[in-house]
Amino acid sequence: MPAQLDHLLVPAKNRVAAARLIAHLLGVPWAEQGAVGPFSPVYVNAGLTLDFDQWNEPVPKLHYAFLVTQPEFDAILGRIKAAGLAYRSSPVGADDFKINSAFGGNLVYWSEPDGHAWEILTVSYERQDLQAQGPEIYRYPWLRGGTATSEP
C-alpha cells in the first residue's frame, strides 16, 4: 500500500474557532476535543484529519489545498461568501473576489482562519498529466518513467 497522509497539524490562535470555521466551510464534521492530544480535529475525509492546535503568536502561515468536485467547489465558495470572507484568485496578493480558471478548472484562496493560505481547486495543477493516466500511476513510480528503489 502506498503511504497515505493521515493527519496534519494546523497552528491556530483559537483552535476551536478555527476548526469550527474550516469544518463549516468544507461541509465536514469536526470535534472540539480530539481523542488524543490537545487538538480540535476536522475530519476532511475518511483518510485525512486536520488537527487544529492552539499556538501563541506568531502563528506560522501555511498553505492547505483541497481538491474538490465542481459541485463541492460551488457549495464551499457559497459558504465562504455567506460567511463574509474575502477570497482571491492567487495565493498571495489582494483579495479580488475572483475565481482562477487558468488550469482547466476552478480555484480560489482565502486567509481565514489565522492568515493561512486555504485553497480549493477542481483540477490539480500539480498532477494534470498524471490525472489522465488513472489512479494506479500514483502507486507505481515505474509507470511514470521513474524507478522503484525498494519493494515492500
CB neighbour list of residue 72: distance below 8 Å, 6 or more residues apart: 27, 120
Stated pTM of the model = 0.82
Task: Give whichever of 102-106, 117-121, 122-126, 133-137 has the largest mean pLDDT.
Answer: 117-121
Type of residue numbered 136: E
Give the CATH number of domain 1-56.
3.30.720.120
User: What pLDDT, on the 0 to 100 scale, is given for residue 57?
Assistant: 82
Which sequence spans correspond to the domains of the chain? Answer: 1-56, 61-152
Class of CATH domain 61-152: alpha beta
User: What pLDDT, on the 0 to 100 scale, is given for residue 83?
Assistant: 97
pLDDT at 132 over 70: no
pLDDT at 33 over 70: yes
**Alpha helices (H) in the chain, listed in sequence order:** 15-26, 70-82, 128-131, 136-139
